[in-house]
Amino acid sequence: MGKEVKTNAMRILDRLKIKYEINLYTCEEFIDGVTVADMLGQPYERSFKTLVAVAKSGEHYVFVIPIHKELDLKKAAATVGEKSVSLIPVKEITALTGYIRGGCTPIGMKKQFKTVIHSSATDFEQIIISGGRIGAQIFLAPLDLQKAANAQFAEIIF
């Protein structure tokens, strides 16, 4: 892969000496993860999306869940020790994370937020996450993602 492909997430994985694969696909604008998986013939269960939430306390949290599932806000809040959390408005993603919608990944955000990965990730040898920009995916082991994002695993979906 040429240098132009490397995102902040990929540079961090390289620095941590974490093995990963990059998959590039053609896409000019945001499309949801299910559509991307259908387009590329990838299983929904192995493909994860990154959601950013804010608590009443003002703290932000990152939740990584299968693309075809919904975040259970009550379970998510309990997991991070908050009374409630809500997803941030899409327009705030770039300013908060440094990534754009459709290219948001839990690795290498502007600030390291507490991150929770849905426990189903551990069912797979490799999972698929955004590569840090639209049209790029990262395939890596769930435990490597946990290490790179300083994350924990929990039941956070319906």
Q: What is the pLDDT of residues 31-85, one digit of tens each?
A: 899 999 999 999 999 999 999 999 999 999 999 999 999 999 999 999 999 999 9
The pTM for the full model equals: 0.95
Q: What pLDDT score does 4 carry?
A: 58
- Say whether pLDDT at 3 is over 70: no
- Say whether pLDDT at 29 is over 80: no
Q: What pLDDT score does 111 carry?
A: 94
Give residue-wise pLDDT tens across range 84-134. 999 999 999 999 999 999 899 999 999 999 999 999 999 999 999 999 999
Confidence grade of residue 1 (pLDDT, cut at 50, 70, 90): very low
Number of domains in the chain: 1
DSSP state letters, 80-145: TT-S-EEEPPGGGHHHHHSS-TTS--SSS-SS--EEEEEGGGGGSS-EEEE-SSTTEEEEE-HHHH
Contacts of 136 (CB under 8 A, 6+ apart): 5, 7, 22, 23, 24, 25, 103, 130
- Say whether pLDDT at 2 is over 50: no
How far is residue 154's CA from residue 132's CA, in Å, rounded to a whole number?
23
Domain span holding position 130: 3-154
Give the CATH number of the domain where residue 97 resides: 3.90.960.10
Tell me the three state secondary structure of residue 21.
strand
Q: What pLDDT score does 28 carry?
A: 74
Confidence grade of residue 30 (pLDDT, cut at 50, 70, 90): confident
